[in-house]
Chain A
Amino acid sequence: MPIPDWLRVRRSKNDSDVAHWEKCPKCGEVLYRKELAENLFVCPRCTYHFRMHAFDRVHMLVDGDFVELGTEIKPSDPLHWIDKRSYPEKLAGDRAKSSLSEGIVTGFGAIGGIEVALGVMDFSFRGGTMGTVVGERIALLFEAARDRAVPSVIFTASGGARMEEGMLALMQMAKTTLALERFREAGNYALTVLTDPTTGGVSASFAFQADVIIAEARAAIGFAGRRVIEQTIRQKLPENFQTAEFLLEKGAIDMVVARPELRDTLVRLLDYGVGARA
Chain B
Amino acid sequence: MNLIVERENELLEFERRIAELKDHSRDQPVDLSHEIAALEAKYAQLLHEIFDRLSPWQRVHMSRHPKRPLGADYVAALDVFDELHGDRQFRDDPSIIGGFAKLGGRRIVTIAQEKGRDTKEKVRRNFGMPAPEGYRKVKRLIDLAAHLGLSIVTFVDTPGADPGIGSEERAQAEAIASCLYALAQAPVPIVSTIIGEGGSGGALALALADHVVMLEHSTYSVASPEGCAAILWGDASKAEEAAERLRLTSDDLRGFGIVDEVIAEPLGGAQRDPAATIRRVLDAAGRALDRLAAIPPRELRESRYAKYRRIGGWQDASRSMTESLS
Q: Footprint of B on A, CB under 8 Å?
A: 71-76, 78-79, 81-83, 131-133, 135-136, 139, 159, 161-163, 165-171, 173-175, 177-182, 185, 199-201, 203-209, 221-225, 227-229, 231-233, 237, 241-242, 247, 250-252
Contact = CB atoms under 8 A, between A and B. Distances in A.
Contacts of B312: 78, 132, 135-136, 168
B109 interface: no
B57 interface: no
B164 A166 contact: no
Given A79-B247, A168-B256, A174-B204, A242 B314 contact: no
12 contacts: A78-B256, A79-B245, A162-B222, A165-B222, A171-B258, A173-B204, A174-B308, A185-B185, A201-B222, A205-B180, A223-B173, A228-B163
A170 B164 contact: no
Given A83-B245, A252-B174, A163 B184 contact: no
Interface in B245-262: 245-248, 252-253, 256, 258
A200 B164 CA distance: 14
Nearest 7 A/B pairs, CB to CB = A78-B313, A224-B163, A203-B173, A72-B318, A223-B172, A204-B176, A208-B177
Contacts of B169: 250
B227 interface: yes
A76 B315 contact: yes
Given A170-B201, A178-B308, A200-B201, A224 B172 contact: yes
B311 to A, nearest CB: 5
Interface string B231-257: 111000000010001111000110010
Given A161-B200, A166-B221, A205-B180, A175 B309 contact: yes
B304 interface: yes
Contacts of A227: 230
B63 to A, nearest CB: 14
Contacts of A233: 164-165
Contacts of A182: 305
A185 B186 CA distance: 12
B201 A173 contact: yes
A132 B256 CA distance: 12
A167 B222 contact: yes
B318 A174 contact: no
Contacts of A169: 222
B210 to A, nearest CB: 12
B316 interface: yes
B220 A208 contact: no
Contacts of B173: 199, 203-204, 207-208, 221-223
A74 B314 contact: yes
B58 interface: no
Contacts of B38: none
Contacts of A180: 181
B5 to A, nearest CB: 24
A78 B314 CA distance: 8
Q: How many B residues are at the interface, by size bracket?
A: 35 or more
Contacts of A209: 177-178, 180-181
Contacts of A163: 222-223, 228, 231-232, 246
B21 to A, nearest CB: 47
Contacts of B41: none
Given A208-B171, A209-B177, A168 B165 contact: no
Dominant secondary structure of chain A at its interface with chain B: helix
A199 B314 CA distance: 23
B233 A72 contact: no
Q: Which of B183, B313, B315, B323 has the most CB of A within 10 A?
A: B313
B208 interface: yes
B168 interface: yes
Nearest to B171: A252
B130 to A, nearest CB: 12
Contact of A241 (B168, B172, B304, B325): B168
Nearest to B160: A224
B212 to A, nearest CB: 10
A114 B176 CA distance: 31
B164 A181 contact: no
Interface in B175-211: 176-178, 180-181, 183-185, 200-201, 204-205, 208
Given A233-B164, A241-B165, A247-B171, A170 B222 contact: yes
Contact of B180 (A131, A161, A162, A177): A177
A136 B253 contact: no
B204 A72 contact: no
Contacts of B177: 177, 203-209
A181 B308 CA distance: 13
B322 interface: yes
Nearest to A237: B165
Nearest to A231: B230
Given A170-B222, A178-B184, A73 B314 contact: yes
A170 B200 contact: yes
A78 B318 CA distance: 19
B161 interface: yes
B323 to A, nearest CB: 8
